Amino acid sequence: MAGFTRLERICNQDFRQRFGVASITDKLQEVHLRWYDHVLRADNDSVCEIGFILDLTGKRPKGRLKQRWMNTLHVHLKAVGMHPDQAHDRIKWRQGINKADPPPPNGTNAEEEDTSQRHISMYI
**pLDDT, one tens digit for every residue, the chain (124 residues):** 567 776 777 777 877 777 777 788 888 888 889 888 888 888 878 888 777 777 778 877 788 777 788 888 889 989 888 888 888 888 888 888 887 665 555 655 544 555 555 445 445 5
Quick check: helix, strand or coil at residue 58?
A: coil
- What residue type is 24 in one-letter code? I
pLDDT of residue 110: 47
Which residue from 47, 53, 99 is spatially nearest to 76, judged by alpha carbons?
Answer: 99
* DSSP assignment letter at 20: T
The Cα 86–Cα 93 span in angstroms is 6
